[in-house]
Amino acid sequence: MQWLGQSDVFPGQANMNMNEASLLIVDDNPGVLSAGKLFLKRHFAEVDTSRDPEEIPGLLREKRYSVIMLDMNFGRSAKNTGQEGFDWLARILEIYPEAIVVLITAYGDVDLAVRAIKNGATDFVLKPWDNEKLLATLHSALKLKTSQDENLQLKSKQLGRNLAAASDLPELIFQSQAMKQVWETVQRVAETDANVLLLGENGTGKDLIAQAIHAHSTRAQENFVKVDMGAITESLFESELFGHVKGAFTDAREDRPGRFEAADAGTIFLDEIGNLSLGSQAKLLTVLQNRTITRVGSNRSRVVNVRVISATNQNLFEAVKNRSFRQDLLYRINTIEIHLPALRERTDDIEPLAMHFLKEFARKYKRPVTGLSAALLKEMHRYAWPGNIRELQHAVERAVIMSKSEKLQPEDFFFRDGTQGPDQNLPTMNLDDMEKQLIMKALQKYHGNITEAAQELGLTRASLYRRLEKYQL
C-alpha cells in the first residue's frame, strides 16, 4: 500500500495550474484524508478534507474547488453499493454544475465508477493509489477544468461580440466650438480607464461619444457592450447584467453569462442609468466596488475587468437630493463628466450634419437630391430641434424621400413648432402623427426626461420607449 511517494512532482508535469488550484477530499477514512493531504498539499495551493459528506453543501457555499475527490462508499452504508457516491455526485453537480469530480474507489467498484462517469464524474482513482498515477489523474482533471473555463470565457466573448453596439465607429461630424471642447475631453479621457458619465438631452449623440471613447482607448480591440437600463425590467436586471446558471429560474435552461462578463476586458455602456430603481442601483454599486459579479443561482463570484461609461438625460445631482439616486453610485460612475450640448447650442453643426444625412439617404433611396436651399438653412437655424440630432436625421430622411427638387426646400420639412413650413400649419387627423407630436411636446416640456414625460402622457416608461423607437425619436 503506497500513500506517500518518493518524488514530489510527477515527471513531465506542468506544476503551475496545480500550484494555483484548490482541492477538496471527502472520505470517511481518516487515514486516506491525512495521507492524501500530506502528499497533495505539496502540489496544490489549498487542500481541504472532510469525513462527512453532509458538509459538502456548506463547503461549496464558501469556495469553488478546482477539483473534488469523492469516496463512493461511506461507513454508514450497510452495503458497498456506491449509491452514496452517486447521490453526492448528483448533489455536487446540482450545486456547482462546473465541478470537476474525481471518484475514490476500490478495485471491486470499477464498474460503479464507470457508471458514475456517465453520470457526470470526470475520472476515478483506485485505493490504495499510486502517487504518480494520482497526480497524473488530477493533472488531467485540471486540464479539463482549464479547458472548461476557457470555453466559458469564449462563450462570454462571443456573447459580447453579439451584443456589441457597433463594429465600426460611426462618423462624428462637428465644427462648432462646443463640440470641439467635448472632443478634446474625449481624447484626454479615452486613454485612461476612468469611469465616464455622459450628460445631455435625448438625441445629442451620447452613444456615439461612448463608442468614440472606447475606440480610442487601450481596450479598443475588446468588446463594447451597450445596455439600455431603462428597457430592462427590475425582475430581469441581475440575470441580464450578471448572468445566471442553469435552473436558477423557470426559463434558465443553460448557464448564461451576463453583460458584464461579455464586456470583460472591454467597455460596458450603461445608457439611461438614471432610470434604475434604488434596489438595482445598490446591486450595481456592489459590482462596481468589488469588480466581481455573481450569476443568479450561483454563489461563485467572478472577477470582471470592465471600463464603465454611463449616460443619462436626467439631472442626477437633483435626483440625489430627492433620494431617487444613490450618491455613492453617482460618485462611482462620474470620475469624469462630459456634457453634450443640444443641437440648438451648436448651430454651426446643423449644416454639416444635414449634408451628411442628405448624402446618406440620397444614396440609400436613389434620389437626385444634392443640397440645401438658403431659405431652408435659415429656417433650420431658427428651429429649436427638441429631438436634437435624431430629429434632424429623421427630418432629412423624410425630406429626401418627399422632395421634388435637387435642393431641399422649407416645404420639404415638418417643423414641429408650427412656425415653419407653409403646408405644415394645417391640422392633421392622422393618429400616428398626432401621437408623435404629443410625445415630442412632452419630451420638450420635461427637457427629455423619460420618466416625467411618460407620466404626463399616462404611459409607462417601457410603453414610451416603444413609441420612441416606433417613431425614431
Mean pLDDT, all residues of the chain: 83
Q: For 311-338, what is each residue's pLDDT tens digit?
A: 999 999 999 999 999 999 999 999 999 9
Higher-pLDDT residue of 373, 160:
373
Higher-pLDDT residue of 66, 419:
66
- Contacting residues for 11 by C-beta, under 8 A, at least 6 apart: 132
Which single residue is written with the C-alpha cell 400649419? Answer: 425
Distance (Å, whole) CA 18 – CA 313: 50
Higher-pLDDT residue of 318, 444:
318
pLDDT at 107 over 80: no
The pTM is what?
0.62
Res 2: pLDDT: 37
Confidence of residue 447 (pLDDT cuts 50, 70, 90): confident
Sign of CA dihedral 439, 445, 446, 449: positive
Distance (Å, whole) CA 155 – CA 365: 39
Res 164: pLDDT: 53
Q: Lowest mean pLDDT: which of 19-33, 42-56, 81-95, 303-317?
A: 81-95
Q: Which of 335, 319, 332 is nearest to 283 (CA)?
A: 332
Res 169: pLDDT: 58
Instruction: State which amino acid sits at residue 430.
Output: N
Res 318: pLDDT: 92
Q: Lowest mean pLDDT: which of 5-19, 110-124, 428-442?
A: 5-19
pLDDT at 157 over 70: no
Residue 96 near residue 60, CB atoms below 8 Å: yes
Distance (Å, whole) CA 471 – CA 448: 15
For every residue of 280-321, DSSP letters joined together read HHHHHHHHHHH-EEE-BT---EEE---EEEEEESS-HHHHHH
pLDDT at 1 over 80: no
Distance (Å, whole) CA 23 – CA 46: 6
Distance (Å, whole) CA 163 – CA 267: 12
3-state secondary structure of 329: helix
Strands 196-199 and 307-312 come out as: parallel
For the chain, percent of residues with pLDDT exceeding 70: 85
User: Which of 75-84, 283-292, 294-303, 412-421 shows the highest mean pLDDT?
Assistant: 283-292
State mean pLDDT over 408-421. Answer: 71
Residue 186 near residue 342, CB atoms below 8 Å: no
Res 440: pLDDT: 83
**Rounded to an integer, what is the distance from CA 359 to the centroid of its chain?**
35
Q: How far apart are the first and last CA of the chain?
A: 77
Domains (range + CATH), the chain = 16-152 (3.40.50.2300), 164-341 (3.40.50.300), 342-426 (1.10.8.60), 427-473 (1.10.10.60)
Distance (Å, whole) CA 161 – CA 213: 18
Higher-pLDDT residue of 451, 429:
451
Distance (Å, whole) CA 464 – CA 200: 19
Q: For 203-256, what is each residue's pLDDT tens digit?
A: 999 999 999 999 999 998 888 999 999 888 888 899 999 988 877 787 777 878
Which single residue is written with the C-alpha cell 443640444? Answer: 342
| 128: preceding bond cis by omega (within 30 degrees) | yes
Higher-pLDDT residue of 405, 146:
405
Q: How many CB atoms lie within 10 A of CB 293?
A: 25
Residue 328 near residue 286, CB atoms below 8 Å: no
Confidence of residue 158 (pLDDT cuts 50, 70, 90): low
Confidence of residue 9 (pLDDT cuts 50, 70, 90): very low
Which single residue is written with the C-alpha cell 464498474? Answer: 111
State mean pLDDT over 307-313. Answer: 96
pLDDT at 7 over 70: no
Res 6: pLDDT: 32
For the chain, percent of residues with pLDDT exceeding 90: 45
Res 4: pLDDT: 35
Residue 149 host element (H or E): helix 131-163
Res 11: pLDDT: 32
Q: Give φ, ψ of 409 to 5 degrees.
A: -115, 165
Q: Lowest mean pLDDT: which of 266-275, 299-308, 316-325, 371-380?
A: 299-308
Higher-pLDDT residue of 70, 79:
70
